Amino acid sequence: MIKIDYFDSISKTIQHNITMNELQLPIRSEDLLWVDLYAYSYNELNNIADIFGFHPLAVEDCLHEGSRPKMDSYGEYKFFVLHAPIYNEKSNNEITMVELNIFMGPNYIVTVHKRKLQWLGHMENVCFNSSKYMEKGTDFLLHTIIDGITDEYFPVLERIRTRVDELEEEIYDFQPKEVTEEFLALKRTIILIRQAIMPQRRIFSTTNGQWHFDIQEENIPFYKDLNDHLERIVDSTETYRDLVNSTLDTYFSIISGKSIEKLNLLTVISTIMLPLSVITSFFGMNVPLPYQDSPITTITISAFLVLFTWGMWAYFKKMIA
């Protein structure tokens, strides 16, 4: 499906849902064209690529998901591969990344994604009533798109923090299987976020004070704010990774301590039973022994075993305390 919004710089209005046949290319340098291609077919993508002259390698990246976030320069236009998070705690894969491909030319933006993104839908709704996203140039429209999908990471990180707090309480309940699975799921989620956000931070950071693509002077503060958001996400993932690791270490210590307690109890029982077994085995031999026919012998041995058991138990209890 293709949706096209065209901003006319003269009338300051936006034309919506026009077709490529209705669009007159090339457009004026002051105008701005936003083509949103989602749930697309192979032919639709190739038609757009032929119209704008996109490189076959960039088209191939759009067709085959799994590319890491990056920015490639193809002369007059830039090609971005970004990842937007979709969080579903009830799913086996709690967080999935939707790949968003963006072509940014001098006066056009083409967004390509296989699944409809909530933020892009919100932007399209705003564009029906206002031109604020499209009247400041391609770099501002690009910032708005990326800032929106970047902000979607924060609720995910907040939920991760809540789950870490819950885990810190659950580790004392001693449910090894459930707690271990929860830890592993959290670690996978954090690693996936870091794999997506670290390259995106490098794309929108400066090198020797220079941006990786041209940005209008009045729009630079917006990109600085975007870079700050990316830095916060990276810092948060590092913090939560350390929290999960430290909580996991504490959990292993608790498990180890409880295992040692059980082992100590078994050791005490074995130590007490060993001399009792020796004594009863000795007097239970099928050979003549002194006083074996006297009932006093049985009473004496039984009393001795009881006192011996009580004495060893009291001794071990004092030692452990």
| Inter-residue contact 153 to 85 (CB < 8 Å) | yes
**What is the model's pLDDT at position 57?**
92
Phi, psi for residue 38 in degrees, rounded to 5: -140, 155
**What is the model's pLDDT at position 42?**
85
Structure tokens at 112: 């390509």
* Domain definitions of the chain by residue range: 2-255, 284-321
Q: What's at 281, amino acid-wise?
A: S
**What is the model's pLDDT at position 321?**
61
String of DSSP letters for 46-68: HHHHHHHT--HHHHHHHHS--PP
Phi, psi for residue 292 in degrees, rounded to 5: -70, -20
Fold of 2-255: Beta Polymerase; domain 2 (3.30.460)
Find the angle CA(55)-CA(56)-CA(58) to the nearest 5 degrees.
70
| Inter-residue contact 114 to 99 (CB < 8 Å) | yes
| Residue-level pLDDT, tens digit, the chain, 321 residues | 888 888 888 888 888 878 777 776 777 878 899 999 988 888 888 888 988 889 999 999 988 877 889 999 998 899 999 998 887 766 656 688 889 999 999 889 999 998 888 888 888 888 888 888 888 889 999 999 999 999 999 988 888 888 888 887 877 776 767 777 888 888 888 888 998 899 998 888 876 677 888 888 898 999 999 999 999 999 999 998 888 888 888 887 777 777 777 777 787 778 778 877 877 777 777 767 676 677 787 788 788 888 888 888 887 777 766
CB burial class (10 A; 0-12, 13-18, 19+) of residue 286?
A: exposed
| Inter-residue contact 189 to 153 (CB < 8 Å) | no
Name the pTM for this structure.
0.77
**What is the model's pLDDT at position 169?**
80
CB burial class (10 A; 0-12, 13-18, 19+) of residue 43?
A: exposed
